[in-house]
Amino acid sequence: MRAMVLQTPRPVEESPLELREMPNPTPGPGEVRVQVRCCGLCHTDLHTVEGDLPLPRVPVIPGHQIVGIVDAVGEGVRNRREGDRVGIPWLYSTDQTCDFCRRGLENLCEQARFTGYHVPGGYAEHAIVHEDYSYSIPRIFSDENAAPLLCSGIIGYRSYRLSGVRAGERLGLYGFGASAHLVLQLARHQGCEVYVFTRAQPHRDLAVKLGAAWVGAAEDTAPHQVDAAIIFAPAGALVPRALRALRKGGTLALAGITMSAIPQMDYSLLYQERVIRSVANSTRKDCRELLELAAEVPLRTEIEVFSLGQANEALQALKRSEIKGAGVLRI
């Protein structure tokens, strides 16, 4: 199979991914092999490729928003068959026995493994996954439009849920990329008013097109304070700015897997029971709920498509914030 392989983390401008010919993987007991049709691009891929995250293994094939067709099944597989269209997200496996797993917090499992990080991901023609960590894709979505749902959508959904925003309230979104453009649609579907804080004009235009009530820069003063907010941009400097825009008792959710340093700030910004909480990974329940809700809305994924061999160029565009919506590799 063809795959884009990371041998040594380097700045994405140096095109660290190499197109190689690799052996086709064989599914083990309980596993299925997926012929990859599409794989979404994620900032976590960028952090992996550039070495912002400590890599548990190299070489590695990045990618964790995989849509494809099951073309081989391992021994004991019961719920998948050849020809099924499935998705493979970031959460690849958990031990299912630790305290976190027993409490429904498998996203925090100490033994969790992640697609495109601990195991080969979707920047390739085939991928392996246990059947219990694969998901049926609603028919309403094409392969390309389904791919961003499997991380951008799921993490956006978990962030939205943990922000505690309710129907009729105001939600602030900081950064407007793949996740935020889906959250805006979820919030509008559930009766929320959405303010978007972003600088890039194409992102502002898309936010307005999707129903944002107000769009401005992070340093701008919105017409009203928000009841909840989510920061998608990995910029710690946004935290005090978002707290200034947040009403008493509101929650600020931090959706990124990494973030630059949060500056020292006055306690008054956090006082009056404002809450800051991080969002870490996702659960299988999050994935199932998001896919069901995405089909109900239905969510519209704005995408830009690249070929497998263009993975370096695609990640460079992602780093420069030049992709409107979500980037997708067509395999």
Instruction: Please state the pTM of the whole predicted model.
Output: 0.93
pLDDT band for position 87 (cuts 50, 70, 90): very high
User: Are 272 and 322 found together in one domain?
Assistant: no
Cβ-proximal residues to 97 (8 Å cutoff; 6+ apart), any chain: none
User: Are 158 and 230 found together in one domain?
Assistant: yes
Is 32 domain-assigned? yes
User: Are 85 and 41 found together in one domain?
Assistant: yes
pLDDT band for position 29 (cuts 50, 70, 90): very high
Q: How many domains does the chain have?
A: 2
Model confidence pLDDT, tens digit, residues 265-317:
999 999 999 999 999 999 999 999 999 999 999 999 999 999 999 999 999 99
- CA distance from start to end of the chain: 11
In one letter, which amino acid is 271?
Y
User: Are 51 and 129 found together in one domain?
Assistant: yes
User: Are 244 and 320 found together in one domain?
Assistant: no
User: Are 65 and 146 found together in one domain?
Assistant: yes
User: Are 196 and 244 found together in one domain?
Assistant: yes
Rg of the chain on CA atoms, in Å: 19
User: Are 259 and 221 found together in one domain?
Assistant: yes
Is 106 domain-assigned? yes
Are 277 and 253 in contact, with CB atoms under 8 Å apart?
yes
Q: What is the pLDDT of residue 325?
A: 84
- Residue 138: asked if its preceding bond is cis (omega within 30°), the reply is no
User: Are 176 and 217 found together in one domain?
Assistant: yes
Q: What is the pLDDT of residue 315?
A: 97
Is 283 domain-assigned? no
User: Are 129 and 10 found together in one domain?
Assistant: yes
∠ CA(232), CA(256), CA(99), 5° rounding? 135
Is pLDDT above 90 for 324? no
What backbone torsions phi and psi does residue 2 show, to the nearest 5 degrees? Answer: -90, 145
Q: Residue 114 sits in a domain of what CATH number?
A: 3.90.180.10
CA separation for the pair 72, 109 (Å, rounded) = 29
Q: Residue 252 sits in a domain of what CATH number?
A: 3.40.50.720
Is 290 domain-assigned? no
Q: What is the pLDDT averaged over residues 114-130?
A: 98
Is 14 domain-assigned? yes
Is 142 domain-assigned? yes
User: Are 6 and 147 found together in one domain?
Assistant: yes
User: Are 34 and 173 found together in one domain?
Assistant: no
Domain, as residue range, for 272: 153-278
CA separation for the pair 101, 61 (Å, rounded) = 27
Model confidence pLDDT, tens digit, residues 217-271:
999 999 999 999 999 999 999 999 999 999 999 999 999 888 999 999 999 999 9
Q: What is the pLDDT of residue 258?
A: 87
Is 200 domain-assigned? yes
How far is residue 326 from each of residues 97, 150, 227, 256, measured CA to CA in Å?
A: 35, 12, 27, 16
Q: What is the pLDDT of residue 257?
A: 87
